[in-house]
Amino acid sequence: MDTAKKRPFDEMQLANDAVRDIYALYAEWLRDVPLAQLESKRLEAELLFRRVGITFNVYGETAGAERLIPFDVIPRILAANEWSKLSDGAIQRVKALNMFLHDIYHDQEIIKAGIVPASVLTNTQYRPEMQGIDVPNNIYAHIAGIDIVRTGESEFYVLEDNLRTPSGVSYMLEDRKMMMRLFPDLFRRYSIAPVEHYPQVLLNNLRAVAQPGVTDPVVALMTPGAYNSAYFEHAFLAQQMGIELVEGQDLFVRDNAVYMRTTEGPRKVDVIYRRIDDDFIDPLAFKADSMLGVPGLLSVYQNGGVTLANAVGTGVADDKAIYIYVPEMIRYYLGEEPILANVPTYQLSKEDDLKYVLAHLPELVVKEVQGSGGYGMLVGPAATKAEIKEFTLRIVSNPSNYIAQPTLALSTCPTLVEQGLAPRHVDLRPFVLSGKAVTLVPGALCRVALRDGSLVVNSSQGGGTKDTWVLNHA
């Protein structure tokens, strides 16, 4: 494969340097804007973000150290028809994934049908505690972040599904607010679909999944606390939805119900939008030393006394080892062809795949099955010989812990960097909401790898964000 040497698809410019139609108005505007002005807008944005406290904690750095996620002032633009394909594809995927979760925690027909191997039940993300438990509307992943990358005009791939506690939606909303503030004239030139109603849609969905019989459900957002890397987002969403932002210590369990401690005494909570992993929600059921959870929460949940969003045990469907079966799930549950393709994936637990991967490491991306946030991965083309050697040892010692994928030439988007405007690789994470219906607002978190040539867009690895514009027309 020598595709890596070819110039990757660019969101703004075609191979012959002509500007893509949807960027035409932008390019025209950009011609009259000196670089220094863009730079000063970027600085202004940084100042505003810092003042508002839109900061991010990075694991492994001094506790409490706060950093900004770099914000890029050049938008990623998607045409209406591009968006409708992505949107349909993401909705289709989440529908199938929710059906898979319901199936796997009930009759396991998909295993009997021989489509997904029974080994899924030994996956650490499979929660036997959920077996036979009914959840309202059969919805498990109420909020799903689907990571999509592009390699050509009409070539989109799903890189991974995030069904546990996907984050980043606050950047979709804050980046938009910032762009409207910095460049109001651009919003007059373009007809851009609004995203600001996301919190309202989310709240309606959360209220819709209260247990049957609850009339005016009380919803709360549960955060691990102010030192969590995504705390800003938790606070932001709670505020936007007008619901309480609670920590484990604010909740307690009594008579098969969950209560908040308030200044006027206990108040019952019906739906918990929890931004805290399964392992930490209940020290009686999972990690006993977790200080973040609520003792007894799981048993109330199992008995239908409260709804958790997302449900416990969704990790079994977004695990990288399960990912490869998603296209088959779509066919099996929905009887449809997948609208969005998977990236071809090698499973290192299979001997043939392992052999191939070990021989081709310099051109592949290898990921830990349960890793997230860009930790524990090898990007072959960017790795040194020593790194590849070291990673080989890790793979050989536990092959089933890894999958590998070809290095995709992710599309690029012009980005403001030190040297001026330069193409940088981007991805896209739209957020699919399920509750009443399955929907998404026309927008997404767009992450950009700021280092030249880098394909890793994770914020924990120095990635930045861009506003994503979905146009109201083609």
Partner 1 sequence: MLSRTADHLYWMARYIERAENMARVLDVTANMSLITNPADQTESALWRPALQICGDVIAYDEAYGECTAANVIKFLTMDDNNPSSIYSTLRSARENARAVRVAMTSETWESINTLWLEFSQFIGADFSKSGLHEFCEWVKARSHLFRGVSFGTMLRDDSFRFLRLGSFIERADNTARILDVKYHILQPIDEETGGVDYYAWSAVLRSVSSFQAYQKVFRDTIDPKRVAEMMVLRNDMPRSLHACYEEIVSIVQQLSDRRPTECKRLSGQLLSSLRYGKMETIFEQGLHEFLGDFLRSNNRLGGEIQRTFFNAAEV
Sign of CA dihedral 236, 237, 238, 243: positive
Neighbours of 276 (CB within 10 A): 22
200 binds partner 1 (CB under 8 A): no
Q: How many CA atoms lie less than 13 Å away from 223 in the CB half-sphere?
A: 19
Quick note: the x/- pattern for partner 1 over 120-149, rule CB under 8 A, is: ------------------------------
Cβ closer to partner 1: 104 or 238? 238
* Least spacing, CB of residue 252 vs partner 1, in Å: 5
Cβ closer to partner 1: 48 or 79? 48
Q: What CA–CA distance (Å, rounded) separates 450 from 309?
A: 33
Contact residue for partner 1 among 18, 43, 226, 437 (CB under 8 A): 226
Q: What CA–CA distance (Å, rounded) separates 172 from 445?
A: 5
Cβ closer to partner 1: 52 or 422? 52
Q: Do 92 and 336 form a contact (C-beta atoms < 8 A)?
A: yes
Q: Which two tokens stand for residue 396?
A: 């050989």
* Least spacing, CB of residue 177 vs partner 1, in Å: 12
* Least spacing, CB of residue 251 vs partner 1, in Å: 10
Contact residue for partner 1 among 235, 324, 334, 379 (CB under 8 A): 235
Residues 244-273 interacting with partner 1 (rule: CB under 8 A): 244-247, 249-250, 252, 254, 259-266
Cβ closer to partner 1: 238 or 317? 238
Quick note: the x/- pattern for partner 1 over 273-312, rule CB under 8 A, is: ----------------------------------------
* Least spacing, CB of residue 467 vs partner 1, in Å: 20
Coil, strand or helix: which one is 418?
Answer: coil
Q: Which residues contact 14 (CB under 8 A, 6 or more apart)?
A: 20
CA distances from 218 to 90, 215, 231 (A): 29, 9, 21
Cβ closer to partner 1: 264 or 418? 264
Cβ closer to partner 1: 14 or 52? 52
Cβ closer to partner 1: 52 or 118? 52
DSSP secondary structure letter of residue 22: G
Q: Which two tokens stand for residue 49?
A: 């973000």
* Least spacing, CB of residue 396 vs partner 1, in Å: 45
Cβ closer to partner 1: 248 or 338? 248
* Least spacing, CB of residue 460 vs partner 1, in Å: 20
225 binds partner 1 (CB under 8 A): yes
CA distances from 265 to 7, 249, 257, 296 (A): 63, 14, 15, 20
Q: How many residues bind partner 1 (CB under 8 A)?
A: 26
DSSP secondary structure letter of residue 61: S
Quick note: the x/- pattern for partner 1 over 38-77, rule CB under 8 A, is: ------------xxxx------------------------
* Least spacing, CB of residue 63 vs partner 1, in Å: 12
Neighbours of 191 (CB within 10 A): 11
Sign of CA dihedral 269, 274, 276, 281: positive
* Least spacing, CB of residue 140 vs partner 1, in Å: 27
* Least spacing, CB of residue 44 vs partner 1, in Å: 15
**341 alpha carbon, distance to own chain's centre:** 17
Q: What CA–CA distance (Å, rounded) separates 320 from 372?
A: 10
* Least spacing, CB of residue 180 vs partner 1, in Å: 16
Cβ closer to partner 1: 266 or 462? 266
Q: Going along 233-318, which residue ranges are E strands?
A: 244-246, 251-254, 257-262, 265-269, 271-274, 307-309
* Least spacing, CB of residue 225 vs partner 1, in Å: 7
Q: What CA–CA distance (Å, rounded) separates 389 from 376?
A: 14
List the Cα angle 50/56/59 in 5-degree steps.
145
Cβ closer to partner 1: 30 or 260? 260
Contact residue for partner 1 among 97, 120, 192, 238 (CB under 8 A): 238
Coil, strand or helix: which one is 264?
Answer: coil
Cβ closer to partner 1: 44 or 250? 250
Q: What CA–CA distance (Å, rounded) separates 448 from 463?
A: 6
Q: How many CA atoms lie less than 13 Å away from 439 in the CB half-sphere?
A: 15
Neighbours of 77 (CB within 10 A): 23
Quick note: the x/- pattern for partner 1 over 325-364, rule CB under 8 A, is: ----------------------------------------
Q: What CA–CA distance (Å, rounded) separates 31 from 24?
A: 11
Cβ closer to partner 1: 217 or 374? 217
Contact footprint for partner 1 (CB under 8 A): 50-53, 225-226, 231, 235, 238-239, 244-247, 249-250, 252, 254, 259-266
